Amino acid sequence: MSRPVREFRKSIACFLATSVLVLVPAFATAQTSDAAQQARDIANVLPIPLDAEPPATGAVSGDNNAASVLQNEPAPAPAQSAAAVQSENARQYCSNITDEATDARYARQVAALKKLEEDVNGRIEALETKRAEYEEWLKRREDFLRKAEESVVAIFTQMRPDAASQQMAVMAPAAAAAILVKLKPRIASAILNEMEPIKAAQLTTTMAGLARASDEAKNPG
């Protein structure tokens, strides 16, 4: 083989080697770029990080089905925060405490009202007892006064007119008039005759007033 042919082949071999060294890195870069773009496209569809391990061979169709299912499922509801849970628990606790406090206050008020009612009933019973005692005492007093009046009337009936007039002159006009009203007219007139005219006139006026009051009491109309 001639020297020119050998040099030509050598030039072709160098050119091919240079082309391979240039094209192989470019092809690898293109493949890497395509793979990265595919990964980004998948990441935009599926909620998985880009640095996740790639799926095994033969699982591409399954991943596509999973992606379609995830796209159709609704997004999960956000979990309730701890602060919201604590706030709800505090509100429920305060509500329970308020209800218990209201019930306790109502129970205290009912107990106080019952005690007050018992005290009022006790005082009413005590007043009724006192009233009965007072009525009994008043009845005995009236009986005593009636008997005393009858005794006094009997005493003045048996006294001499001059002595009776002296006794009535120092008595209260109302008391003397009350006794004279109970006496018989003959005895009362004899006693008045023994009195001074002014005193006798006062007793007569008082006796007339007592008689008028008695008539009005008997006939109120």
Q: How confident is the model at residue 13 (pLDDT cuts 50, 70, 90)?
A: low
pLDDT confidence tier of residue 2, bands split at 50, 70 and 90: low
Q: With 0-12 CB in 10 A as exposed, 13-18 as middle and 19+ as buried, what is 73?
A: exposed
**Its pTM surpasses 0.85:** no
Query: What pLDDT, in 10s, does the model give residues 39-88?
Result: 566 555 444 444 445 544 444 444 455 445 445 555 554 555 777 766 77
Average pLDDT in the 188-195 region?
91
Q: For 16-30, 101-115, 150-164, 203-217, which range has the lowest pLDDT when averaged over its residues?
A: 16-30
Higher pLDDT, 213 or 125: 125
Closest to 194 in 3D by CA, of 155, 153, 164, 156: 164
The three-state (H, E, C) secondary structure of the chain, written as one string: CCHHHHHHHHHHHHHHHHHHHHHHHHHHHHHHHHHHHHHHHHHHHCCCCCCCCCCCCCCHHHHHHHHHHHHHCCCCCCCCCHHHHHHHHHHHHHHHHHHHHHHHHHHHHHHHHHHHHHHHHHHHHHHHHHHHHHHHHHHHHHHHHHHHHHHHHHHHHHCCHHHHHHHHHCCCHHHHHHHHHHCCHHHHHHHHHHCCHHHHHHHHHHHHHHHHHHHHHHCCC
Can you give the pLDDT at residue 5? 55
149: CB partners within 8 A, 6+ apart: 178, 179, 182
The domains of the chain are located at: 1-51, 87-145, 159-218
**130-160 tens-digit pLDDT:** 999 999 999 988 888 788 788 888 898 999 9
Mean pLDDT of the chain: 73
